[in-house]
Amino acid sequence: MKIFKWSPAFHVDKEPSVVPVWFQLHKLPLHYFHKEAIFQIVSVLGVPLFVDAATLATSRPSLARVCVEIDLFQARPSRGWVGNGKYEGFWQSFIPENTPKYCSHCYRQGHDIEGCYVLKPELRPPRAEKPYQRVKDRSQTSEP
Ligand SMILES: [Zn+2]
């Protein structure tokens, strides 16, 4: 069973393309380790949902993790400019941890259009023969 966020565009035959995805922000300066600042930085990706406990506690200063609700149909920048007032800004890279694939042909998550069995049935691997089908019918053998 899959659970999806409901939206007014819900359709029983179409899985939604909006999903939560964790992003890593490596080498983010420590003074940006605040939920509001991180949410503002990643707002170019989608709707920020939350940061992880290590980011909140600043116990892992090498990277910040933030979960963002993104639309798999929308293009996402791989980095964003963080302005720093009168000081120089910097480019912050956004590294997704596990972006699900989405098929724009059958509107399902888990595969993309290049790997769609509905669109390209020849890609489907042959089904393995079930073991019980290989067993001989014992009623017709000559064993006692
Ligand atoms: Zn498909």
| E strand intervals along 40-131 | 47-51, 63-71, 79-84, 87-93, 95-96, 102-103, 108-109
Q: Could you tell me the pTM of the whole model?
A: 0.78
Do 41 and 82 meet the contact criterion of CB atoms below 8 Å apart?
A: yes
Query: What is the whole-number distance in angstroms between the Cα of residue 110 and the centre of ligand 1?
Result: 9
Query: What is the whole-number distance in angstroms between the Cα of residue 104 and the centre of ligand 1?
Result: 7
Total domains, the chain:
1
> For position 135, what pLDDT does the model report?
56
> For position 140, what pLDDT does the model report?
55
Q: Please check whether residue 108 lies inside any domain of the structure.
A: no
> For position 47, what pLDDT does the model report?
97
> For position 21, what pLDDT does the model report?
96
Q: Please check whether residue 39 lies inside any domain of the structure.
A: yes
Query: What is the whole-number distance in angstroms between the Cα of residue 112 and the centre of ligand 1?
Result: 6
Q: In what order do the strands lie in the sheet with 18-26?
A: 47-51, 63-71, 18-26, 95-96
Q: Please check whether residue 135 lies inside any domain of the structure.
A: no
- The domain in which residue 77 lies consists of 18-99
Q: Please check whether residue 117 lies inside any domain of the structure.
A: no
Q: Please check whether residue 126 lies inside any domain of the structure.
A: no
Q: Please check whether residue 60 lies inside any domain of the structure.
A: yes
DSSP state of 77: -
Query: What is the whole-number distance in angstroms between the Cα of residue 109 and the centre of ligand 1?
Result: 8
Which residues of the chain are modeled with pLDDT < 50?
A: none
In this predicted model, what pLDDT tens digit does every residue of 81-109 receive, in sequence order?
Answer: 999 888 889 999 999 999 999 999 999 99
Q: Please check whether residue 116 lies inside any domain of the structure.
A: no
Q: Please check whether residue 119 lies inside any domain of the structure.
A: no
